[in-house]
Amino acid sequence: MGKELYDTNEEAKALFEKANDILGFRITDEMFEGTDEGLKQTNITQPAVFLHSAILAKTIAGFKPDMLAGHSLGEISALVAANCLSFEEGLKLVAIRANAMQKACEANLSTMAAIIGLDDAVVEEVCASIEEIVVAANYNCPGQLVISGSNEGIDKACEALIAKGARRALKLPVGGAFHSPLMEPAREELAAAIEEATFNTPNCPVYQNVSTKGETDPATIKANLVAQLTSSVKWNQSVQNMIADGAIKFTEVGPGKALQGMLIKINKEVERDGIS
């Protein structure tokens, strides 16, 4: 994960080594030689994904986007790519975010599930009817909404949503109920770190998960980033707003092609590619 970039680009190598120093351990060893199981640990996963995305964006020749967005954790990568946050401050926030979320996961047994083939309104209605904590967490694309909550709540919601006609209700292999009220302890810890960090006016609008709008005001960006941990990721709505504001080509920067897959379902007409 990111090894080719490390081996072939001196600027990237220097940033990876700087990350090792900031984190206090060699995350590059985990990224390049680690096990799948090791990479799934939240305190490894989040910095690893951030580093791959942010370092790629900083080393792509001629990288000058008109607008940016990031899905969940990717929002911090987008803010670094926009020079709203420095690479160093972005990485520190990611590390604090990952550790705070890990602690919140351990405090409350919880999970997430992908619901396929139902209208958002139906999913929202079912979640609201469950007595346990269950909320709509990730509005990924039409017909795909991820829910988040307590283990018992997710089980009840999945059963009810299948009865409502969902094609699939698939529990995800995640450590906890991200983007739900169960992340409140993590939100409080991250909020303190965000308040101390320096946020600059970005080079271009960053479409944030909470507001779905292209934001340029540092104070607004900070507030939205704080709210993100316990709020829904409104990715579908954000991409639709980017298209309405003139986006015609989307480039996914970082590991995987998940966002390109979502984009196809949001709008088949726009051009898309990826750099990983």
> One-letter amino acid identity for 122?
V
Could you say which DSSP state residue 217 is in?
-
In terms of DSSP H, where are the helices of the chain? Answer: 3-8, 10-23, 27-33, 36-39, 42-59, 74-81, 87-107, 120-129, 151-163, 184-196, 218-228, 235-244, 258-266
Q: Which residues contact 64 (CB under 8 A, 6 or more apart)?
A: none
The whole-angstrom distance between residue 74's C-alpha and the CA centroid of its chain comes to 4
Active site residue 180: no
Distance CA 105, CA 128 (A): 22
Return the closest-CA partner of residue 191 out of 225, 228, 226: 226
- Looking only at Cα atoms, what is the longest distance across the chain? 55
Distance CA 59, CA 33 (A): 23
Distance CA 233, CA 122 (A): 18
What number of other Cβ atoms are within 10 A of residue 1's Cβ?
18
Of the residues 110, 179, 211, 232, only one is catalytic, namely 179
- HSE of 180, CA atoms in CB hemisphere, 13 A: 28
Return the closest-CA partner of residue 75 out of 195, 232, 184: 232
Active site residue 71: no
Catalytic sites, residue numbers: 72, 179
